[in-house]
Structure 1
Amino acid sequence: MHVIYGGTFDPVHHGHLRLAIELCDRLEVDHVSLVPCHIPPHRGDTGASASQRLQLLELAVRGEPRLHIDDRELRRAGASYTADTLRQLRQELGPDHPLVMVVGTDAFAGFDRWREWESIPELAHIVVVRRPGPALNPEGIPARLLTKRRVEDVASLRNGAAGCVLELDPPLLDISATGIRERIAAGRSPRYLVPDSVWEQIRQQGLYGACPEGNF
């Protein structure tokens, strides 16, 4: 089973990394592929360039064999669309290999606004990670899709290549990339929210408004 976990990782933090490890354990896979997006179609510009975000991600996963980086979206020109990535992976994996994409409930709530969203369940299984916040609108398309395709266990994902939706409720660290960027811009330390190697590189490059000469 091939599992991908995408996002801007702007910057990558311990919440991302801890969730990825939890996914390895819960889904019983050897590794999870982290897929940083190039140009996110549903938000503004990132606070760091694609190459900078990739460099931070590489530093963050160094020494952890269960976390792999798949940079295909950074190598592809234009906005990053999930359907394109899944279609490419499906060609590589073949028609019968289980492919899983991971998304939080906050992002899944707007699933019907994604480009070619109808094709996504035909290309991959979807794992929805429950996050704090409002529940899905029961009358909305995402909630109806969840009801229609819901499965209750990981074994169901292994029994087919695509088409199922599994909800997971792993322990989450209450850390946000937005909060980290705001903290850095305000001159406050994000240490222990991000790996030390990531924070050091952010300081060296002056990313997110960091002062390279700061003492924290």
Structure 2
Amino acid sequence: MSACIALLGGSFDPVHHGHVALARLFCDLLRPDALRVLPAKPWQKSSLQASDEARVAMLELAFRDSGLPVSIDCRELMRGNATYTVETLRGVRSELGPEASIVFLMGADQLQNLDSWRDWQQLFELANIGVAARPGYTLEQEALPPAVAHELAPRLAPPEQVRTMPAGLVCLAHTLAVDISATQVRAALRNGHAPGTDANSLVSPVVLDYIQQHNLYKS
């Protein structure tokens, strides 16, 4: 059987409990052979507050004791300029070959903006998509942009089928109850809640220590 590789991309500015919960949810559902976490230089977010080095360091800390088959894939950072998911998936597909099951993971908030991504319909030619619900974001078809809903409807499949297909399927997970955003984390840190319970409930203690030691997100 061909390998199943899950990919979790994002700004991770900073990485928080929601990212780890999303990764763990799909590792439980898909049982991938590997999970690659890809920090991005996203074209839609030009004002990252932490450096590339800091974001990678925080990712390594956040996933260090997770028990998940994680590696940090820095290909988007090494490219040096703003990156597009479709370009990254082309590179991963070229590396892994045509038979591997590639599953790109995202939250429901990203799905609702999917039709704004570059060449977004080509994503399905390169990978499967795993989408997790978030409180406040529904995965119901009528809540999605019509073009996205139309593209998803015939592709929906259970995780055991997704992990055996190279590309083109979509796995929806309705069970992610964690509602955290990086914006929320930065606001808590900026308001001086760390090291109180607010920040500790949003990011792992080792990541919070790193943030404090390096004076990140102060302004």
TM-score (norm 2): 0.88
Task: State the SS of the aligned residue for 1:68.
Answer: strand
| In structure 2, distance between residues paired with 1:42 and 1:140 | 22
Which residue does 2:170 correspond to in 1? 165
CA distance in 2, matches of 1:194, 1:185: 14
Range 106-115 or range 168-177, more displaced: 168-177
For the 8 Å contact 1:19–1:170, the answer to whether it is kept is no
Q: Which of 196, 204, 212 is equivalent to 2:205?
A: 196
Which amino acid is the alignment partner of residue 68 of structure 1? S
Letter of the 1:205 counterpart: H
- Residue 160 of structure 1 and its aligned partner are, at CA, apart by 2.1
Structure 1: which 4+ aligned runs deviate by more than 4 Å? none
Alignment: residue pair count: 208
Is the contact between residue 32 and residue 68 of structure 1 (CA under 8 Å) also seen in structure 2?
Answer: yes
Q: CA offsets per residue over residues 168-205 of structure 1, 9 Å max, x none?
A: 11233222211110011111121232111111111111
Query: Which residue does 1:60 correspond to in 2?
Result: 62
* Correspondence 1:1-216 to 2 at 5 A: 1-37=4-40, 39-66=41-68, 67-135=70-138, 137=143, 140-151=146-157, 153-189=158-194, 190-209=199-218
1:96–1:112: structure 2 CA closer, same or farther, 3 Å change rule?
A: same
RMSD: 1.7
Whole-Å Cα distance in 2 between the matches of residues 173 and 105 of structure 1? 12
What SS does structure 2 have at the residue aligned with 1:80? coil
Where structure 1 has 5 or more consecutive residues not aligned to the other structure, the ranges are 211-216
Q: CA shift at 1:24, angstroms?
A: 0.8
Shift of 1:141: 0.8
The 2-side partners of 1:197 and 1:60 are apart by: 7
Unaligned runs of 5+ residues in structure 2 are none
Q: Closer, same or farther in 2 for the Cα pair 1:205/1:16, shift >3 Å?
A: same
TM-score by length of 1: 0.89
CA shift, 1:165, in A, is 1.2
Structure 1 residues 131 and 28, CA gap change in structure 2 (3 angstroms): same
Distance, in Å, in 1 between the alignment partners of 2:102 and 2:184 is 32
